[in-house]
Amino acid sequence: MSSFRMIAQTQFGLEEVLRVELLKLGARDIQRHNRAVSFHGDLGFLYKANLCLRTAIRVLVPIADFRVRSADELYRGIHRIDWETFLTPDETFAVRCTLNSPHLDHSQFAMQRTKDAIVDRFRERFGKRPSVDTEDPVMRIQVHVIGDHCQVSLDSSGTSLHERGYRDGTGPAPINEVLAAGMVQLSGWDPRRPLVDPMCGSGTIAIEAGLLACNIPPGLFRKGFGFQRWNDYDADLFGTIHDSLLKRISEERPVIVAGERSAEIVEMARTNVANAQLDDAIEVRHSAFEDLEPPPGKGVLIINPPYGERMDHQGAEAEAEVEAINAFYKMIGDTLKKRWSGWQAWVITSNMEAAKHIKLTPKPRIQLFNGSLDCRFMKYDLYEGSRRLTPRPASSN
């Protein structure tokens, strides 16, 4: 089976995590890029990558590269591609364009020229054309223009790979599954030790940790992938790969505790845990963080507290909101020092002013994005004995 180039897209800050995932999965010629990792593999590896990668958003298959310095050059380059190899006139397609070029600066216009070129080629050869369907197309096409270089790719994933399929509901400001999986891996958590998410919301961090520990492919719960509608889809090969991955699921279960103060959201998290088939690995407790009892042993906490980003009041109300969020972060620090000695805590937040009230020194601080929010993922070592009570120096940021 022939090998070809693929590109797995990811979020900023997770490129190295994704590179290591691909290395462990057996990819070849792996190269890191900004928010992406390129690699080589065969058709079976394309299927395996979509099923198994935890920090990939999409897996793209490049089909053309050409120079572009105008909209007309874009049209001609797209028109030259043998689209009939990938698509029939009776099927549907959608186009997404991302631009970082002085020659093309309107993505909607570039998208329209791309659609025109594809449609015109089909009309010229078949007298009819495929239709555009932005909701559920047979083929998703991505066009990336950087400087004067254009790369055209087919999106093998379909909908974003963060859409695992296990979440029936979410609480306020839910964390993305890909980001959650990346945070678990960045933390260096050893599944032989306990993991606690004391502000679990809909349970995403705990679930992603459970899937990782049990070697459950994150794509197992999806309804499907884009490549399953391609004309070269090999259902037997996909079935063989799917079944082999099922056989590798570990029967050992980690100790994972998820805490949440809202009774309603606790039930939502429990439903999501059940959907992910992790009832026997994750205990969801109805508890505020300050009251949460640590499980036996010493492990890792991963905390996604409120950031206070939606403060839109002014005057006294705004001051009260700032005081409240600062007090909340102080509670986090006090609780860590009082109840979680010997553990390692990781906190993600975009509110660095509030984070100062934790009163512990984080090392390292990893830049990540939660949606559009520029965050830091910070590690706190909670030493046993007197060192755990050592406050952060006043001059530290």
pLDDT digits (tens, 9 = 90+) for 209-226: 999 999 999 999 999 999
Placement of tokens 């109805």 in the chain: 286
182 and 151 in a single domain? The answer is no
Of all residues in the chain, the percent with pLDDT exceeding 90 is 90
In this structure, is residue 339 part of a structural domain? yes
Count of domains forming the chain: 2
Placement of tokens 């310095």 in the chain: 69
In this structure, is residue 231 part of a structural domain? no
Q: Is the pLDDT of residue 96 over 70?
A: yes
Q: Is the pLDDT of residue 244 over 60?
A: yes
CATH number at residue 341: 3.40.50.150
Does the CA dihedral 203-273-183-374 come out positive or negative?
Answer: negative
Residue 384 binned pLDDT confidence (cut-offs 50, 70, 90): confident
DSSP collapsed to 3 states, 101-120: CCCCCCHHHHHHHHHHHHHH
Compute the distance between CA of residue 327 and CA of residue 333 in angstroms, rounded to an integer. Answer: 10
Q: Which two tokens stand for residue 280?
A: 């026997």
Helix axes 204-213, 263-275, angle to 10 degrees: 30
Q: Which two tokens stand for residue 53?
A: 């990668």
71 and 10 in a single domain? The answer is yes
Q: Is the pLDDT of residue 318 over 90?
A: no
In this structure, is residue 16 part of a structural domain? yes
Q: Is the pLDDT of residue 393 over 80?
A: no
What are residue 200's phi and psi, to 5 degrees?
-80, -15
206 and 99 in a single domain? The answer is no
In this structure, is residue 36 part of a structural domain? yes
123 and 194 in a single domain? The answer is no
Count the Cβ atoms, other than its own, within 10 Å of residue 174: 17
Compute the distance between CA of residue 20 and CA of residue 122 in angstroms, rounded to an integer. Answer: 41
Residue 170 binned pLDDT confidence (cut-offs 50, 70, 90): confident
CATH number at residue 9: 3.30.2130.30
* 116 burial level (CB within 10 Å; 0-12, 13-18, 19+): middle
Residue 396 binned pLDDT confidence (cut-offs 50, 70, 90): very low
What are residue 145's phi and psi, to 5 degrees?
-120, 120
Q: What is the pLDDT of residue 114?
A: 98
210 and 342 in a single domain? The answer is yes
332 and 383 in a single domain? The answer is yes
In this structure, is residue 234 part of a structural domain? no
In this structure, is residue 160 part of a structural domain? no
41 and 181 in a single domain? The answer is no
pLDDT digits (tens, 9 = 90+) for 54-86: 999 999 999 999 999 999 999 999 999 999 999
Neighbouring-strand partners of residue 257: 196, 283
Q: Is the pLDDT of residue 376 over 70?
A: yes
359 and 303 in a single domain? The answer is yes
Residue 389 binned pLDDT confidence (cut-offs 50, 70, 90): very low
What value does the mean pLDDT take over residues 142-166?
97
What value does the mean pLDDT take over residues 99-117?
95
Q: What is the pLDDT of residue 310?
A: 57
111 and 202 in a single domain? The answer is no
Q: What is the pLDDT of residue 247?
A: 97
Q: Is the pLDDT of residue 92 over 70?
A: yes
Lowest-confidence range among 164-173, 209-218, 263-272, 327-336?
Answer: 164-173
Q: Are 49 and 41 in contact (CB under 8 A)?
A: yes
Residue 397 binned pLDDT confidence (cut-offs 50, 70, 90): very low
Q: Is the pLDDT of residue 360 over 80?
A: yes
Q: Are 62 and 153 in contact (CB under 8 A)?
A: yes
In this structure, is residue 366 part of a structural domain? yes
Q: What is the pLDDT of residue 169?
A: 73
Compute the distance between CA of residue 61 and CA of residue 64 in angstroms, rounded to an integer. Answer: 10
Count the Cβ atoms, other than its own, within 10 Å of residue 394: 5
In this structure, is residue 384 part of a structural domain? yes
Ramachandran class of 303: left when φ > 0, alpha when ψ lies in -120 to 50, beta otherwise: beta
Compute the distance between CA of residue 196 and CA of residue 205 in angstroms, rounded to an integer. Answer: 9
Compute the distance between CA of residue 99 and CA of residue 111 in angstroms, rounded to an integer. Answer: 10
Provide the domain limits for residue 140.
Answer: 4-155
97 and 189 in a single domain? The answer is no
What value does the mean pLDDT take over residues 273-278?
97
pTM over the 0.75 mark = yes
64 and 194 in a single domain? The answer is no
Helix (H) or strand (E) holding 267: helix 263-275
